[in-house]
Chain A
Amino acid sequence: MLIKKIVLKNFRQYDGENEIIFSVEPEKNITFVLGGTGFGKTTLCQSFRWCLYGKSDFKKPEDILSQKKIDSLKDGQSCPATVSLEISHGGKDYIITRTSTYRKKNDKFGELSLQFHVYYIENGVQKEVSNKQEFVNEIIPEELSEYFFLSGEKIEAMSDDIKKGKSRAFGEAVNTLLDLDYYKNAIRHLKSISKEYSVSGISGNFNEKLNQLNSKISSNVKNLETFENQMKEEEDSRDYHLEKIAEYKSKLKNIESSKEIAEKRESKQNECTKQKNRIEQEYKSGILDFVKSSPYFFARHAMDAMLDYLKEASDMESDDIPDKLHADLIDWIEKRGKCICGTCINKNEASFDLLEKWRHIVPPESLGTLISTVRRETQDKKRFGEDLWNNLKARKERVIDYLESIDGLEEEIKVLDERLAKAEDTSEIERNLKLSTKDLEDSKEKITNYQRLIYNIKSESDRLKREREYLLETSEEGRKVLEWKKITDKLVKDFEEELSKDEQEKKQNLVNAVQNAFKKIYDADFTISIDDEYNITTTSKKELSTGQGLSVIFAFLSGLLDVIKQNREENAEMQLESYPLVLDAPFSVLDKERIISLCDVLPKVSEQIIVFIKDVDGEIARERMFSKIGRSYKLVPMDKSFQCTKVEEDKNGFV
């Protein structure tokens, strides 16, 4: 297949009609499209896939229609966006056209209709191909298309895979491209014939009986296959649940659960509350201390003075007063008029006045005992207030300690809150673990049931096969059938040998071609190899650089296409077509040296190369590949916001 022309109508930036004619000349197989960032290179690359398969990376359907048309449409009006490809394939020319019509309604856009046509031109007449999408898929299967319409992002993703050591990107594609399925399908078919002991051409009781047995065996085989598949699925499911259980257990073991953090937080919060309660208790007890002790604390100075006053009063009372003297004795002496010493006591005499003075300072009017009691009492009461201030100070210090502790705890709570916000909710994991455990049990039970069923079917099949064997061996017709089976088995064996040989050969050719291409592109100290599954590996011990990764990709593509070309030359009847390679910004991550290396090999990679390239890399590439450029175009933005781009042929861009 070669792409001759693309026509875009109102397709994204390409407002109105824009056309690019691609070079199909073998010696000048490169078409060069130069454009700056945002000019529409990726859109062009995607337009191929959209036209062929209706697929694109554009998010909304209306992203297909040109912005200019979107802006100009009035409510109720519609407008089509079309991409048309003209290709040559198998000696015929085809036109593939996809049109999507959009209508504006209530300021929203909806796809009104989608049309897809494939025409071929025969004797100048345009005829429509039936099974259009199947036809396109035959030319380039959709699953392979991404290797031939390579976007910058895809190239980078493939390169990343390869850089990490291994890429499966090509493995799936190789079988189809090398037509190995051709043999594999034949072998599969012959094996099924051999198994079924096909007996068309033989009639009678024998055939009826054999057919019955075959039918039962075949039905058993189908059932067996179904149950084995179901059991396999169930085993996969069991393995999946086992993996999940291990994963959940590991997660639960390793992660700090939100439950644990919440528990820690609650504990800290409780401690914080305790400290706050302690503070409250200190205040309460301090106030109680104050109420009890402050009357004596604030009375200390007055008590000290009181003690002094009482001492003074005591001294005053003790002056020249005889011990044990009582007012009753004074009364008796005054009444008698004579002292016990014989002295006469008369009123108006000094002795009488002295006795009268003493009357006020001896008992019962004496304060001596009272003063002593009050002094002792005062000493005691002073002690009541002694500790008040020290106690309050101690409480104050404890309050400060508690406050510091609360600050620390609140800080910890804050940190725990942050961790809690980030922590995984283990309840979800625990729930999943529970579910997976139950699913695992269910799976195990189902597997046991399948094993039982399979055992029964196999036993039944063995019995039927023995019966069939007996029937075949004991009749003339049966012996004929055995002979045919022998021939079929021989055919299967021959095909398998052929396939193995062909596959080995093709694989070796592919390996050689890829390695040769790689040598041309990159002077590296490692080599590329391809494993049995067609995965690319390298012998490099280090991770590859971006340039190395890209070089591996192009070497692989180049090698792959080489092998396809060889096959086509060797087996004309297999009709293996060449493939175009459409590349979007392939040089953007390469340095100048690598660009030059790649430019040398690129024209040889495929019979048709279409390159959308950035203007920065473009000049180097154009200079290097100038003699190979058959057509050159440039993308010209029509406005500052790059909403409208025009394709212009660059007459100076090629010879």
Chain B
Amino acid sequence: MALFNQLYQIKGLHAEKVRKLTELLSCRNIDVFYISIVLGLWQNLSANVDNDSKIEPAKIDPEQMIRYGREIEYFYELVMLNDKKGSVSLKERINKAFRIRGTEAAGPDEERFTQIMLGGLDFFYDSIVENTNSKEDIFNNICELIQTYLVTYPEKE
């Protein structure tokens, strides 16, 4: 259970992006974390951790990780089941999501989960923060992002 019950740190430039997003959206680090996960999954993006130690990491403290543990676990399960990188079988993806999850063997999967989240974070930052001067701009960027999603996945009647 390395990922879900301890301090979670988003490092380097990604930390800066988290701070900017929390400031603009008036939200918590964990909110940016959730959204980044699903955006990364939707856009099939991933990014490596920026280990620039000069930048203060954005943190989600252990208490919060434990309190929202099941929610994070759920998004982890979602990512593991939907991430088809390496053409792994459903059985393997099920195992990653439900059996190996939280064990020492889950290390590579957790790394992959973080990469997807970071890929989503880059996309989230670019979609919301670029050319933004006001709440109106943010609101419009949000609507544009949603409309882009709806083009790919239209709402069912």
Contacts and interface: CB of A to CB of B under 8 A. Distances in A.
Contacts of A374: 74, 77
Nearest to B135: A283
A295 interface: yes
A388 B38 CA distance: 15
Interface stretch (A48-56, A285-293, A449-457, A483-491): A285-293
Contacts of A310: 81
A298 B142 contact: no
A280 interface: yes
Interface stretch (A98-106, A239-247, A249-257, A299-307): A299-307
Given A283-B135, A306-B81, A291 B27 contact: yes
Given A287-B139, A295-B75, A367-B98, A302 B150 contact: no
Nearest to B83: A302
B25 A302 contact: no
A313 B94 contact: yes
A136 interface: no
B78 A287 contact: no
Contacts of A298: 35, 38-39, 41-42, 149
Given A283-B138, A295-B75, A302 B39 contact: no
B77 A312 contact: no
A303 B155 contact: no
B88 to A, nearest CB: 12
Interface in B3-38: 25-27, 31, 34-35, 37-38
Given A290-B25, A295-B35, A367-B98, A283 B139 contact: yes
A306 B38 contact: no
A312 B139 CA distance: 39
B82 interface: yes
Interface string A357-368: 000000001010
B90 to A, nearest CB: 6
B25 A287 contact: yes
Given A288-B26, A301-B153, A392-B143, A294 B82 contact: no
A206 interface: no
A655 B138 CA distance: 100
A305 B146 contact: no
B93 A302 contact: no
A367 B98 CA distance: 8
Interface string A365-395: 1010011001001000100000011001001
Given A283-B135, A381-B74, A388-B146, A295 B37 contact: yes
B7 to A, nearest CB: 21
Contacts of B79: 302
A563 to B, nearest CB: 89
Given A302-B42, A306-B82, A392 B142 contact: yes
A248 interface: no
B136 interface: yes
A632 B94 CA distance: 129
Contacts of A297: 146, 149
Nearest to A360: B99
A89 interface: no
Interface in A388-415: 388-389, 392, 395-396
A125 interface: no
Contact of B139 (A286, A291, A296, A371): A286
Nearest to A389: B146
A341 B4 CA distance: 46
Given A287-B25, A367-B98, A392-B146, A294 B38 contact: yes
B22 to A, nearest CB: 10
Nearest to A290: B142
B38 A299 contact: yes
A135 interface: no
B85 interface: no
Interface residues of B, number: 36
A290 B26 CA distance: 11
B138 A303 contact: no
A287 B138 contact: yes
B98 A302 contact: no
A283 B81 CA distance: 35
B135 A280 contact: yes
Contacts of A316: 91
A350 B150 CA distance: 53
Nearest to A390: B155
A466 interface: no
B38 A295 contact: yes
B78 A294 contact: no
A309 B90 contact: yes
Contacts of B98: 367, 370-371
B94 A302 contact: no
Interface string B46-61: 0000000000000000
Interface in B74-108: 74-75, 77-79, 81-82, 90-91, 93-94, 98-99
A479 interface: no
A301 B42 contact: yes
Contacts of B153: 300-301
B81 A305 contact: yes
B31 A291 contact: yes
A305 B142 contact: no
Nearest to B31: A291
Q: Which of B35, B79, B139, B150 has the most CB of A within 10 A?
A: B139
A284 interface: yes
Contacts of A296: 38
B155 A294 contact: no
Contact of B82 (A280, A292, A305, A381): A305
Given A297-B146, A302-B78, A305-B82, A312 B90 contact: yes
Interface string A41-67: 000000000000000000000000000
Nearest to B24: A287
Contacts of B149: 297-298
A209 B147 CA distance: 120
Nearest to A294: B35
Contacts of B78: 299, 302-303, 306
Contacts of B39: 298
Contacts of A303: 78
A287 B91 contact: no
Contacts of B37: 295
Given A286-B139, A312-B90, 7 more contacts: A279-B136, A295-B37, A295-B38, A302-B82, A370-B98, A371-B98, A374-B74
Interface of B: 25-27, 31, 34-35, 37-39, 41-42, 74-75, 77-79, 81-82, 90-91, 93-94, 98-99, 135-136, 138-139, 142-143, 146, 149-150, 152-153, 155
6 contacts: A286-B142, A297-B146, A298-B149, A305-B82, A389-B155, A396-B143
Enumerate the 7 nearest inter-chain pairs by beta-carbon distance, A residue then B residue, closest first: A295-B34, A283-B135, A298-B38, A299-B38, A291-B27, A283-B139, A302-B82
